[in-house]
A = this chain, B = another copy of it.
């Protein structure tokens, strides 16, 4: 893997910041200080300033950063302006949620297809996005030039579906299945742990009270 330009933690915060800027931009806010950002995002102003400095020069004055310029700089650095076709693999649980509420998936990603190994589920689910049986993964994602997949298949299946995605030329995978996945192919895998949020919160409640 190539040398890291942005620290991991900065990428994370800048993604949160990007969303924040979209939101306050729509409200008509033009400028925002690192201190104000820290109130809204919960990180220190120092971290925010350091993160922004990785972007290079962002328009700022004594009113703070220029909202639209900062937003553009983040977008440019991270490739957000380019829409990216996406698909969902596994239509139980959280996969079903994403395929039935495609607006959950934020721009620039666009859901193009859903896959499941149960033909019955493929045929009976009623969704705004077309569904296919899993054996068609390779074919369909090549046709749609799909770059990103949400993998929500159960543990036993996850590996097989990942291989199909790789065969079809996927570039990135968000893994919502509870097993850690890795590969030596040139594919980016992000292991998400949404469902763990519940237990992590519970652990905190137990530990500090």
Q: Known contacts being A180-B41, A192-B197, is A104 close to B108, with CB within 8 Å?
A: no
Contact A148 B201 (CB under 8 A): yes
Cβ-defined partner of A205 (8 Å) among B79, B96, B193, B198: B79
Contact A179 B15 (CB under 8 A): no
Q: How far is the CB of A202 from chain B (nearest CB, A)?
A: 6
A186 vs B106: C-alpha distance in the bound complex, in angstroms?
A: 33
A17-25, A127-135, A160-168: which lies at the interface? A17-25
When distances are taken between beta carbons in the complex, the residues of chain B under 8 Å from A117 are none
A109 vs B80: C-alpha distance in the bound complex, in angstroms?
A: 36
Contact B109 A198 (CB under 8 A): yes
Copies per assembly: 2
Q: Known contacts being A97-B97, A200-B15, A208-B2, is A180 close to B106, with CB within 8 Å?
A: no
Contact A155 B199 (CB under 8 A): no
A3-11, A57-65, A136-144: which lies at the interface? A3-11
Is A121's CB within 8 Å of the partner chain B? Answer: no
Contact A15 B203 (CB under 8 A): yes
Is A191's CB within 8 Å of the partner chain B? Answer: yes
Contact A195 B104 (CB under 8 A): yes
A93 vs B98: C-alpha distance in the bound complex, in angstroms?
A: 9
Q: Known contacts being A4-B208, A208-B4, is A195 close to B106, with CB within 8 Å?
A: yes
A197 vs B202: C-alpha distance in the bound complex, in angstroms?
A: 22
Q: How far is the CB of A67 from chain B (nearest CB, A)?
A: 15
20 intermolecular pairs with C-beta atoms under 8 Å apart:
A11-B200, A11-B204, A14-B203, A15-B200, A16-B193, A23-B155, A41-B180, A42-B191, A77-B206, A78-B207, A79-B203, A86-B198, A93-B103, A93-B104, A97-B98, A171-B205, A173-B201, A174-B201, A188-B204, A194-B194
